[in-house]
Amino acid sequence: MLSQIVRPMVRTQIRLLANTQATRSTLVETIAQWLGFLGVRAEVTEIDAESNRICVSLVVGKPEACDDRDWQQILDNLQATKNGDEGGQSIVQLTPKQESKLQRLLAYVIQVGDPDRPVDWDNLEPQLRSLGFAEETLLGIRSALRVPQSLDQLMEGLDADVAAIALSKAVGIALLDRQVNPLEDKALAALLEVMKPN
């Protein structure tokens, strides 16, 4: 199941990268995420220790699932912004409605991760922080966890870009316990279905 999820997700992330002005900073984050998945070939060209961190230099070739035009656009964006400040823009600017739906989708994945037990927020919050969730998103997820969420309702009207963002984050949440149960699998498959081209 994960290989079916990862390749379309990478393809969608490539498309989003091609359309962002913050290509350099966004690509750094995206490559870090890619390294957690199979199917993306990266060559480490340099590793260096700096204080309490390890610096890694990578060479990444065009992924199989990447359209040639998108790949060229990413390269062009990187070249154009080589010395510029990109302002830290994110890949996609979500509307408040989209952000709320994203938070509710992630709350659903958390709820079905262990449906027989209430969510222990004090234990969960540091794990979500380790996945890179912003404070506003954490607050939204916490609020959404107070009520049961319905996958069918959450899928209604969901657009592909939000599904792609939700999918990458939902995979991280589902794998917090190193396994994907049938309900989590169903949610991931539903998000993948939304991302498929018509």
Last residue of a domain, one of 50, 80, 110: 80
35 and 65 fall within a common domain: yes
Digitized pLDDT (tens) for each residue of the chain, 198 residues in all: 555 555 666 666 677 667 766 555 566 566 656 654 544 556 656 656 677 775 667 777 776 667 788 878 888 877 776 655 554 444 457 888 889 999 999 999 999 999 888 899 999 999 898 888 889 999 999 999 999 889 999 999 898 888 888 888 898 888 888 788 889 989 988 988 887 765
User: Helices in the chain by DSSP H: which ranges?
Assistant: 2-18, 23-34, 68-80, 96-113, 121-130, 135-144, 151-155, 160-174, 182-195
Residue 78: partners with Cβ closer than 8 Å, 6 or more residues away: 23, 24, 27
Task: Report if pTM > 0.75.
Answer: no
Of 100, 181, 187, 106, nearest in space to 145 by CA: 106
Does 152 map to a domain? yes
18 and 64 fall within a common domain: yes
Residue 118: partners with Cβ closer than 8 Å, 6 or more residues away: none
Answer whether 189's CB lies under 8 Å from 1's CB. Answer: yes
- Residue located via tokens 């234990």: 123
For residue 30, the tally of other CB atoms under 10 A from its CB is 21
Q: Which structural domain, as residue segments, surrounds residue 42?
A: 2-80
Sort 125 into a burial class: Cβ within 10 Å, 0-12 / 13-18 / 19+.
Answer: middle
124 and 76 fall within a common domain: no
